[in-house]
A and B are shown apart, each in its own frame.
Chain A
Amino acid sequence: MQVRTVNISKRYAGLAALDDVSLTVQPGELVALLGPSGSGKTTLLRTIAGLEPPDAGTVYFNDRDLSDSRIQDRGVGFVFQHYALFKHMRVMDNIAFGLRARRKNKPREDEIKRRVLELLDLVQLSGLERRFPAQLSGGQRQRVALARALAIEPSVLLLDEPFGALDARVRKDLRRWLREIHDRTGHTTLFVTHDQEEALELADRVVVMNKGKIEQSATPDEIYDTPATPFVFSFIGESSVIPVQVGNGRATLDERLLDLEIGALPDGPAQLYLRPEDVTMVTDGGPGIPGLVVSTRRIGGMRRVTIECGLARHRIEFDALAEVPINNSQRLTIRVIGGRVYGAGAEGYETERLAASATSDFKWAKAEGWLDR
């Protein structure tokens, strides 16, 4: 089933939760909605499910307009972060709930039982059908919730931070397992997460959202390698930002020419976004940017080095091999071998978050409470 939202807008208490959002998800696709809290990702998911009526815009499943369709008739499987299992029902009755609630084509009781056992097998919980939810671990509960959603043979599977309440280890297992289930059942699936690692690892396509808008919708590789906006660049992975000057199609830092493709940017001030791997140390005495080491810390087999560069002493982080000794206050020369330059006025995630928390902490807290229930 293809899922399409067209120009969806939604406001809460004067704040735009969704601002003219259009998104198409192809049949069988596994899509992650990724963004910070308050970005509108959960609202978008709930709007698709019909749990939240949009102020404007339309949701389509294939070519069916769902504006007047009730939640009950949409056939969406929805999984909540906190499972939302029926506590007073055994696992088996939880999973059978959707089948028993059917008005048309309600299967016979023995057929329901067969289907439930099949699903329990699929989610690897065979033998636990007589348990109550309280007798299961968090990971098991979430699997029951998923089996319950799959039982109705949903046209779309929607998951709202499905692994958010689980500990890191279980989360990783379930992530892999969800991918397997998806590949086996082929449901069109959307899931919400604020964990970029989860989104990049699990999804066919990642939709990065910010302030109720879609910043970029692309494959995990494209999201990481060619972020469309500074926001995406700084939200995904590690990043450093330094201001540069653009002139004649080249970027310069303190009048030193940088060897970078910058595309068609107008002349004037711009910002260079760097990943740790976009910077190397110059050890052969060649040209580069001099800097002063501020701090170092060990990350796995590498050493993450923070240096201050340029006249304005901007901080850049990069990785050096752990066996190379680097001390604080040491002078180094670095060379920029990658990164992206964005025009002036474009702001990244960190700068935005800082500005927001500085100016209107209260408003944001309120908005987050409202938007990401």
Chain B
Amino acid sequence: MTATAPDGARSFRWRRRSVLPGFGLSLGYTIVYLSLVVLIPLAGLGIRSASLGWTQFWAIAFDPRVVQALQLSFGAALAAAVINTVFGVLVAWVLVRYRFPGRRWLDAAVDLPFALPTAVAGIALATLYAPNGPFGAILDHWFGIKVGFTPLGVVMALIFVGLPFVVRTVQPVLEEIDRETEEVAATLGARRWRTITRVIFPALLPAILTGFALSFARGVGEYGSVIFIASNLPFQSEIAPLLIVIKLEENNYAGATAIATIMLVISFAMLFVINLLQAWSRKWFGHE
């Protein structure tokens, strides 16, 4: 028997005949729909900001206040996404693997950040973590950590709104993992930790990356909850979406769209990279 090479370069074919009919119709619908709902509004954004001209655009882009706001927005979203990934996987693990009273309630509670108006969440968090709030006071007094009205508060709010994304993407995949593969790992002499890192984690990785990407994307765009818990001081705890709103209120539409365009480009680039990573991980771990 000769060594078989992995599938050769898959050649792209414009499929004319397929066992699944309706390819043309469904693709056409998808493109029209995506255009109406996503692409055209976003293109409008680009066109609007293009009216500025390059010099003005760069001036806005490198305005220290804008740079700070973008740094905070993306930095906090990234931090929150990382934290959510770790604890979201843990929550999913507990919900899938253990049976305990109140599990269903806990399971349902995970979705609450989806349903709750984010402003409500922001107010609740601000009340708790403000320097004079119950948690904020303790943290400040004992550990000297200030959460409310600081960049830390922004991360806090983004953790809140992003958590369900990780849990809900990892949970079904974890449920699919066969008990037998773990049992077989044990019979082969693998201790628990090895089974988790070598057998379970690789199977979960694509889902974890998806959850991370969703949580991150949600964090970048979040507005409602953050403005209540951050003090929104320029150069300190002002997020980019807020800056856009401020520009709009100043009737500086071009400035607002310029910031929005920058956010769009960075977000797209980051999501694209995460998607590539995900595709790579799927391939590397033989998911397809």
Interface residues of A (CB under 8 A from B): 49-51, 71-78, 80, 82, 84-90, 97-98, 101-103, 126-128, 130-134, 145, 148-149, 151-152
Closest chain-A Cβ to B130's Cβ sits at a distance in Å of: 46
Residues A98 and B3 in contact in the complex (CB < 8 Å), given A51-B183, A84-B178: no
Residues of B with C-beta under 8 A to A82: 178, 180
Chain A: which residue is nearest B206 at the CB level? A88
Report the Cα distance A145→B183, complex, angstroms. 13
B18 close to A (CB within 8 Å): no
Q: What is the minimal beta-carbon distance from A128 to any residue of chain B, in angstroms?
A: 7
Q: Which A residues lie within 8 Å of B287 (CB)?
A: 87-88
Query: Is B20 interfacial (CB 8 A cutoff)?
Result: no
Chain A residues lying within 8 Å of B181, measured Cβ to Cβ, are 84-87
Q: Interface centre among A101, A131, A152, by most B CB within 10 Å? A: A101
Q: Are A98 and B6 in contact (CB under 8 A)?
A: no
Max chain B C-beta neighbours (<10 A), residue from A50, A72, A88: A88
User: Given A82-B180, A84-B180, A101 and B1 touching (CB < 8 A)?
Assistant: no
User: Are B190 and A80 within 8 A (Cβ)?
Assistant: no
Task: Determine the chain A residues whose CB is within 8 A of the CB of B1 once the complex forms.
Answer: 126-128
Query: Is the beta-carbon distance between B3 and A130 smaller than 8 angstroms?
Result: yes
> Which residues from B are CB-within-8-Å of A102?
189
A71-B183, A101-B191, A102-B189 given; 11 more Cβ-contact pairs under 8 Å? A72-B186, A72-B190, A80-B180, A87-B203, A97-B198, A101-B188, A127-B2, A130-B4, A132-B286, A134-B288, A148-B188
Q: Which of A103, A127, A134 contacts B286 (CB 8 A)?
A: A134
A97, B286: Cβ atoms closer than 8 Å: no
Distance A126 CA – B189 CA, assembled complex (angstroms): 25
Encoded as 1 (CB less than 8 Å from any A CB) or 0, chain B from 173 to 193 comes to 000001011011111111100
In chain B, positions 1-26 with a C-beta closer than 8 Å to chain A are 1-4, 6
B184: nearest residue on chain A (CB-CB)?
A: A84
User: Quick one: which of B3, B188, B189 has the most chain A CB within 10 A?
Assistant: B188
**How many of B's residues come within 8 Å of A, CB to CB?**
27
User: Which residues of A sit under 8 angstroms from B199, Cβ to Cβ?
Assistant: 86
Identity of the chain B residue whose Cβ is nearest the Cβ of A90 in the assembled complex: B286
Residues of B within 8 A of A126 (CB): 1
By beta carbon, the residue of chain B nearest A125 is: B1
* Top 9 closest pairs, chain A to chain B, by CB: A88-B285, A132-B286, A98-B188, A84-B180, A101-B190, A127-B1, A78-B187, A88-B202, A71-B186
Q: Provide the residues of chain A in CB contact with B3, threshold 8 Å.
A: 127, 130
**With an 8 A cutoff between CB atoms, is B194 at the interface?**
yes
Are B189 and A72 touching (Cβ within 8 A)?
Answer: yes
Contacts of A89 in B (CB 8 A): 202, 285-286
Would you list which residues of chain B between 251 and 288 have a CB under 8 Å from chain A? 284-288
Contact B187 A71 (CB under 8 A): yes
Closest to B183 in A: A51
B185 lies within 8 A of A97 (CB): yes
- Interface residue from B187, B189, B285, B286 paired with A51 (Cβ < 8 Å): B187
The minimal Cβ–Cβ distance linking B194 to chain A, given in whole angstroms, is 6
> Complex formed: what's the CA distance from A9 to B3 in Å?
49
B184 to chain A, nearest CB (A): 4
Q: CA A233 – CA B272 in complex, angstroms? A: 67
With CB as the reference atom, state the residue of chain B lying closest to A87: B286
* B4 & A128 in contact (Cβ 8 Å cutoff): yes
Q: A86-B181, A88-B285, A101-B190 are in contact. Are A130 and B203 (CB under 8 A)?
A: no
**In the assembled complex, which residues on chain A have CB atoms less than 8 Å from the CB atom of B202?**
88-89
> CB-CB < 8 A to B184: which residues of A?
78, 80, 84, 145, 148
Bound: A50/B188 CA distance, A: 12
Min CB distance B196 to A, Å, is 13
Chain B residue numbers with a CB within 8 Å of A76 are 187
- Interchain CA distance A106-B36 in the complex, whole Å: 60
- Which residues of the partner chain B approach A101 to less than 8 Å between Cβ atoms? 185, 188-191, 194
**Distance from A123 Cβ to chain B, minimum over Cβ atoms (Å):** 12
Residue contact A77 to B4, C-beta cutoff 8 Å: no
7 pairs, CB–CB < 8 Å, chain A vs chain B: A71-B186, A76-B187, A78-B183, A86-B181, A87-B203, A103-B189, A127-B2
Kindly report which residue of chain A lies nearest to residue B281, judged by CB atoms: A88
Give the CA-CA distance A82 to B181 in the complex, in Å. 10
Scoring B181, B189, B203, B284 by chain A CB atoms within 10 A of each residue's CB, the highest score goes to B189
Complex CA distance for A133 and B203, rounded to whole angstroms:
14
Nearest CB in chain A to that of B192: its residue: A72
Contacts of A149 in B (CB 8 A): 187-188
How far does the Cβ of B283 sit from chain A's closest Cβ, in whole Å?
A: 10
Complex Cα distance, B74 from A295, in Å, reads 81
Chain A hits for B2, CB < 8 A: 127
Which among B183, B187, B198, B284 is the interface contact of A77 at CB below 8 angstroms?
Answer: B187
Q: A84-B183, A126-B1 are in contact. Are A72 and B286 (CB under 8 A)?
A: no
Provided the pairs A127-B3, A132-B286 are in contact, do residues A97 and B180 lie with their beta carbons within 8 angstroms? no
**Residues of B contacting A84 with CB < 8 Å?**
178, 180-181, 183-184
Bound-state CA distance A85–B181 (Å) is: 7
Residues of A within 8 A of B180 (CB): 80, 82, 84
Alpha-carbon distance between A61 and B133 when the two chains are bound, in angstroms: 63
